[in-house]
Amino acid sequence: MTNTSTGIMESWFIIMVTFCISFFLILLFNLFFQKTKKLPPGPFIFPVIGMLPLLRKTSRDLELMLRDFKRKYGPIIAIKIGYSSPSIVISSHLLAHQALVQQGAICSDRPIASTTSKIFNSNQRTITSSSYGPTWRLLRRNLISEMLHPSHIIKSHSKNRAWVLGILIQKLLLAHESAAADSATEAIMLLDHFKYAIFCLLVLICFGNKLDEFQIRQIKDAQHRALKSFHRFRILDYFPEFLGKTIFRKRWKQLIELRKELDEVFIPLIQDRVKYKLEAVGAPKPGIDHRHKEEELEADIAYVDTLVNLELPEEKRKLNYQEMASLCGEFLAAASDTTSTALQWIMACLVKYPSIQEKLYKEICQVVESTPLLQSIKNNKVIEEAVKEDDLQKMPYLKAVILEGLRRHPPAHFVLPHRVTEDMELNGYVIPKNATINFMVGEMGLDPNVWDDPMEFKPERFLVDGDGTLQEFDITGSREIKMMPFGAGRRICPGYGSAMLHLQYFVANLIWQFEWKPVEGDKVDLTEGSDFTVTMKNPLRARISPRCCMGSL
């Protein structure tokens, strides 16, 4: 027994020594190899030991750390973690354009997905996670052409937006009545109302059905739990999969259960939609004109409908239900929190700066001929008297307010990381193959070399001086990058046009329907906090006053 134990200990000792020697040989080899290339400057972080403190930091802490590195090392930083490929962080507009646009073909891949990520993205079969190749092109092209084409965004979902706007205004009115009973503040907490409305709209676009509030919150809660819990599983990614499953058995089991919970919410909705479309088409009956019905079905297209017949080009098969669930989850997650966060920031600035709010209201009144009819929201009916999508094109100051909100308070301060597929030169440095690159979006919008008084909220910076017309400004960054709230280049957010439309639509209607004022004795606090997005540390509270008689609810 003793000899056996001794033999086992000796075997483990030999394995550990071999592992350590191999590790340091690889480390020395890579350090020597990297010294032959002129990498960007930056701190060296030792593997394992140096990584452990980083795992405990919030995204806000990491951003502050990177700001310190920027001051010390400049606008392009290489963070070298032992023998791994360096992580490059860029805070320069010019360098971002060179990387994402001028050398976009080299800089458009994604890092190889971690073990935990593959569980949620069905082994990299979502748009954000897919490698730069045929599958990514198929999924992205499908989303843009079938769902996010400008004509489709405006026309196909106009009634959906009006329905959701009715829900939002009804909730605000009820909250206003409730707050009015509290004469001390009359304050309304707004973020939850914004989140619910945006999520309602996206669920409707995704699944094609008007779900009840219980179902909406069930989807929202399941997805929120997954997003909030994701950081708990990051430790699994720093070990080989078999070792992580052994050491962290309970955590691995929780990860699988969380994915199962998402599937149990999404897959029945997908199956119901598929069944509905099949039954709606039905078999043609003689003597009946089906053209009108077919036109209605084409107009009533949901994201799920576009996924059913997609065929993965590299595998020559259709998507399974779990993969469709991952894509639906991505659709909701990518747009819900970011849009509602941006909406809160913009409305907070309009509350904080009443002169800007008043100027915007006057512009809306010049375009919209009718007056707000808040009584039309009884029983969640579609609001007929609202600022329409066509009206938005006639409001340059509205768009300037939205652009300034995205510059000053982008909902994400970093884009998703990119991976370099071959050695790339940038600013005299070599970015080696397989290095990851990220971009400090928040810093770019505050660069004093690009923006005058960058800390001030001034929508007029996007207007032609003395004219009131909108300056030509490319939010995609294809010509030049001044700010990139949606990213830039080939991996730019495919929903940027939809997000701009929804922000303009909801801001215009909220300002048209209500006057927004700060809570007495409580200044609007624009301090940033950190959640899934960069939200307000102290969520917006405000007093609202209907701009006309609202009738009886």
Q: Are 321 and 517 in contact (CB under 8 A)?
A: no
236 CB neighbour count, 10 Å cutoff: 20
Buried b (16+ CB within 10 A) or exposed e, 359-392: ebbebbeebbeeebbbebbeeeebbebbbbbebb
The one-letter amino acid at 546: P
Q: How many CA atoms lie within 13 A of 268 on its CB side?
A: 9
Confirm whether residue 493 is marked as ligand binding: yes
Q: What angle do CA 337, 334, 270 make, to 5 degrees?
A: 110
Find out whether 436 and 47 touch, Cβ atoms under 8 Å: no
Instruction: For residue 92, count other CB atoms closer than 10 A to its CB.
Output: 22
- Structural tokens at position 451: 């923006």
- Report the 3 state secondary structure along 243-272: HHHHHCHHHHHHHHHHHHHHHHHHHHHHHH
Is residue 392 within 8 Å of 490, Cβ to Cβ? no
Q: In angstroms, rounded to a whole number, what is the distance separating the alpha carbons of residues 436 and 414? A: 13
The whole-angstrom distance between residue 349's C-alpha and the CA centroid of its chain comes to 21
Question: Parallel, antiparallel, or unpaired for β 76-81 and 87-90?
Answer: antiparallel
> Among candidates 143, 106, 122, 518, which has minimal Cα distance to 315?
122
Rounded-to-integer distance, Cα 340 and Cα 346, Å: 10
Enter the tokens of residue 427: 């600013």
* Structural contact between residues 343 and 507, judged by C-beta atoms closer than 8 angstroms: yes
Q: Any bridge partners for residue 27, and if so which?
A: none
Instruction: State whether the Cα torsion 419-421-426-432 is positive or negative.
Output: positive
What is the CB neighbour count within 10 angstroms for residue 522? 13
- Residue in the block written with tokens 């048209």: 512
Q: Give the whole-angstrom CA distance, residue 280 versus residue 274.
A: 10
For residue 173, give the 3-state DSSP assignment. Answer: helix
**CA-to-CA distance for 377 and 157, rounded, in angstroms?**
18
Bin 123: left if φ > 0, else alpha if -120 < ψ < 50, else beta.
Answer: left
Spatial CA neighbour of 425 closest among 108, 38, 30: 38
Quick one: tokens of 139? 């999924």
Cα 237-243-248 angle, rounded to 5 deg: 75
Reported as half-sphere exposure (CB side, CA atoms, 13 A), residue 33 has a value of: 13
Residue stretches of the annotated binding site:
493
Residue stretches of the annotated binding site for heme:
493
